[in-house]
């Protein structure tokens, strides 16, 4: 489980995949978000959650890579492949347990 927050600086407005930071041991670390198998449900859910409450912490299931994504200014970050969002699990549970 990883915890993300949305924090897109003006310098990265053209790189939306770099708009998230991951909770790390020493604070927050920018990550490049990849969506597993380009699953539109995951992307849609992330966008909905950010739109509802931009400052919230988003729990996600994913895989963190040691591959680095770069951007101007000699900055780099790791890549996080998001497999599922926590709210997707809640929605699925609610759907499965309807009376």
- pLDDT tens digit sequence for 23-66: 998 899 999 988 877 777 777 788 888 888 888 888 888 999 99
Instruction: State phi, psi for 85 to the nearest 5 degrees.
Output: -95, 155
**pTM > 0.85: yes or no:** no
Which residue intervals of 1-99 are DSSP H helices?
A: 40-52, 86-96
Q: Return the pLDDT at 90.
A: 45
Q: Return the pLDDT at 95.
A: 52
């Amino acid at each position: 489980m990883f915890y993300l927050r949305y924090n897109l600086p003006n310098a990265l407005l053209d790189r939306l995949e770099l708009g998230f930071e991951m909770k790390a041991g020493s604070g927050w670390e920018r990550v490049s978000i990849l969506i597993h198998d380009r699953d539109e449900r995951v992307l849609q859910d992330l966008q909905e959650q950010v739109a509802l409450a931009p400052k919230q912490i988003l729990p996600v299931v994913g895989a963190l890579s040691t591959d680095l994504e770069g951007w101007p200014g000699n900055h780099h970050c790791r890549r996080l492949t998001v497999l599922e969002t926590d709210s997707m699990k809640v929605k699925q549970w609610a759907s499965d347990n309807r009376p």
